[in-house]
């Protein structure tokens, strides 16, 4: 019994990574904020928190796919801005939304082909892609503005059947991601490929007939499509196309993934871990707001707590 709990806490005998500690940390932050401010658990704050965290949650979930195969996707931030720019071009939603996913899918495909078939390091491939997308976005929309389809705005700010739309977004995104990651062959194969990369048995999955390259490409496509979804959500929230709105999301997404216990060397991690990781980051930010901490000390405190969370996530092997 003791061993059972020890295993869960240390993330051993499982490939889900060290997600329990950040969960405890998140709960501790919630408890602290509830006691200190009283606002924390109020529905309006919870919804606000969820809305604020949603783009990061979605992006980070996408990032999880590529991290699991031992890669990284630095182009997601630019892709978010790009998606908002496309949506704000003006036009019917039924054309714009599929267009966003199509273009994002194409970007993911290029990233994936560069990494899997052309042997380019993921950091280089996706960083180069980031530059390219930033440039294209600046052409499309040199400054924030444009008109976002009503449907998109309502799908973010409105309510349906008495529940705020954010809740539906959360449910849909999580269901899709869960199905892909934990409920299909594709997900299992991503773990297999990543496990091979992390342990140096790169050929193992290939040798038993897993379509390694194709799956890695799909992982990048998935990451790009989730980023596009995050872009759609953000466009609805800021009601415009904005060439800078996605700035920095790639780093936050990678941070969320890692805080959630997913190992950046590949093969170990989970969807719930990523969600927890993103929530920890969102709570840090929300907590500062609730406690009305001076902006001059916020960064230091956030960094400190982040370090605390990370310091507890001791793993068996060294690595990224």
Give the residues lining the site for ligand ATP (CB under 6 A). Answer: 206, 211-214
Identify which of residues 98 and 218 has a Cβ nearer to another protein in the complex: 218
Binding residue (CB under 8 A) for another protein from 19, 20, 30, 55? 55
Q: Does 319 bind another protein (CB under 8 A)?
A: yes
List CB contacts of 13: < 8 A, sequence separation 6 or more.
Answer: 7
List CB contacts of 135: < 8 A, sequence separation 6 or more.
Answer: none
Positions in 274-293 near another protein (CB under 8 A): 285-286, 289-290, 292
CB of 34 to another protein, least distance (A): 15
Alpha carbons 264 and 286: distance in angstroms, whole number: 26
259-296 in b/e burial notation, b at 16+ Cβ within 10 A? bbbbbbbbbbbbbbbbbbbbbbbbbbbbbbebeeeeee
Identify which of residues 15 and 214 has a Cβ nearer to ligand ATP in the complex: 214
268 Rama sector, left if φ>0, alpha if ψ -120 to 50, beta otherwise: beta
Per DSSP, what are the bridge partners of residue 163? 160
Among the listed ranges 26-34, 95-103, 160-168, 309-317, the one in contact with another protein (CB under 8 A) is 309-317
CB of 103 to ligand ATP, least distance (A): 23
Q: Does 42 bind another protein (CB under 8 A)?
A: yes
Q: Does 296 bind another protein (CB under 8 A)?
A: yes
For Mg ion, which residue has the nearest CB?
Answer: 211
Positions in 202-221 near Mg ion (CB under 5 A): 211
Positions in 151-210 near another protein (CB under 8 A): 153, 157, 179, 183-185, 188-189, 191-192, 194-196, 198-201, 203-210
Per DSSP, what are the bridge partners of residue 159? 164
Q: What angle do CA 247, 25, 197 make, to 5 degrees?
A: 60
Q: Does 272 bind another protein (CB under 8 A)?
A: no
């Amino acid at each position: 019994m003791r061993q059972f709990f020890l295993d869960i806490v240390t993330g051993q005998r499982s490939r889900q990574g060290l997600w329990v500690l950040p969960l405890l940390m998140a709960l501790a932050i919630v408890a602290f904020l509830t006691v200190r401010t009283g606002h924390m658990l109020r529905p309006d704050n919870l919804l606000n928190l969820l809305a604020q965290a949603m783009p990061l949650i979605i992006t980070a979930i996408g990032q999880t796919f590529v991290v699991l195969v031992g890669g990284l996707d630095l182009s997601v931030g630019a892709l978010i801005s790009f998606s908002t720019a496309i949506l704000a071009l003006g036009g019917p939603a039924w054309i714009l939304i599929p267009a966003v996913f199509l273009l994002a899918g194409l970007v993911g495909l290029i990233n994936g082909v560069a990494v899997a078939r052309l042997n380019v390091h993921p950091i280089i491939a996706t960083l180069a892609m980031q530059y390219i997308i930033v440039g294209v976005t600046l052409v499309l929309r040199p400054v924030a503005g444009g008109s976002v389809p009503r449907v998109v705005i309502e799908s973010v700010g409105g309510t349906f059947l008495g529940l705020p739309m954010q809740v539906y977004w959360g449910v849909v995104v999580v269901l899709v991601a869960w199905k892909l990651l934990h409920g299909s062959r594709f997900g299992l194969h991503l773990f297999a490929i990543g496990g091979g990369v992390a342990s140096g048995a790169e050929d193992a999955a290939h040798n038993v007939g897993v379509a390694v390259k194709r799956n890695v490409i799909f992982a990048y496509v998935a990451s790009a499509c989730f980023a596009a979804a995050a872009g759609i959500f953000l466009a609805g929230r800021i009601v415009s196309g904005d060439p800078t709105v996605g700035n920095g999301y790639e780093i936050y997404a990678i941070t969320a993934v890692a805080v959630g216990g997913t190992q950046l060397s590949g093969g170990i991690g989970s969807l719930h871990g990523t969600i927890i990781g993103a929530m920890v980051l969102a709570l840090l930010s929300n907590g500062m707001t609730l406690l009305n901490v001076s902006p001059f000390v916020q960064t230091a405190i956030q960094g400190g707590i982040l370090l605390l969370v990370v310091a507890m996530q001791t793993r068996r092997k060294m690595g990224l």
